[in-house]
Amino acid sequence: MLGIGTDIVETSRVEHWADDADILSLVFTITERAAAINRKYPQRYLAVAFAVKESFMKAVGTGWGDGVQWRDIEVSDGKKGCVVRLYNRAKELCEGRNVFVSTSCSRDLAVALVAIEEIVGAVHEQPPPIKRMSIHD
């Protein structure tokens, strides 16, 4: 196992971004923003996506560093739940690895868990050491 990351986001935090196109375009891909618009509660969808992104960064051990950008992690719906597509540095760090995601959302909170598993026999660069961090507003 490379790492596990979890995050909890208050949906009200994301609601405050609704009128700030700069923050939305910095954090969410065009696909994520379009998917949110088509939802009854777009802030919940974006809160889940944000929680997945933060969980991924914790699981891979980079935090907001090592070249991983918010939009390098794209969250969408799949047949069996949440699907994550990785781009750029996030993709490089997970090459040859399985990424598992579990999410849940209530009216006020979104929760995500990301686990990154090694594939036996895979050859890839050594991941950076896992950094412990706590993020509070």
CA 42 from centre of chain: 16
- DSSP H helices in the chain: 11-15, 21-27, 30-37, 42-60, 88-94
Residue 131: what pLDDT?
A: 46
Residues with Cβ within 8 Å of 86's Cβ and at least 6 positions away in sequence, in order, are 72, 73, 74, 94, 99
Tens digits of pLDDT across the chain (137 residues): 779 999 999 999 888 887 788 989 999 999 999 999 888 999 999 999 999 999 999 999 887 777 899 999 999 988 888 889 999 999 999 988 999 999 999 999 999 999 999 776 655 455 555 444 444 43
Residue 20: what pLDDT?
A: 85
Tell me the residue length of the chain: 137
Residue 123: what pLDDT?
A: 55
In terms of Cα–Cα distance, which of 110, 105, 90, 85 is closest to 7? 110
Q: Number of C-alpha atoms within 13 angstroms, CB side, residue 7?
A: 26
In the chain the domains, ranked by start, together with CATH numbers, are: 3-118 (3.90.470.20)
pTM for the predicted model, two decimal places: 0.83
Give residue for tokens 């949440």. 82
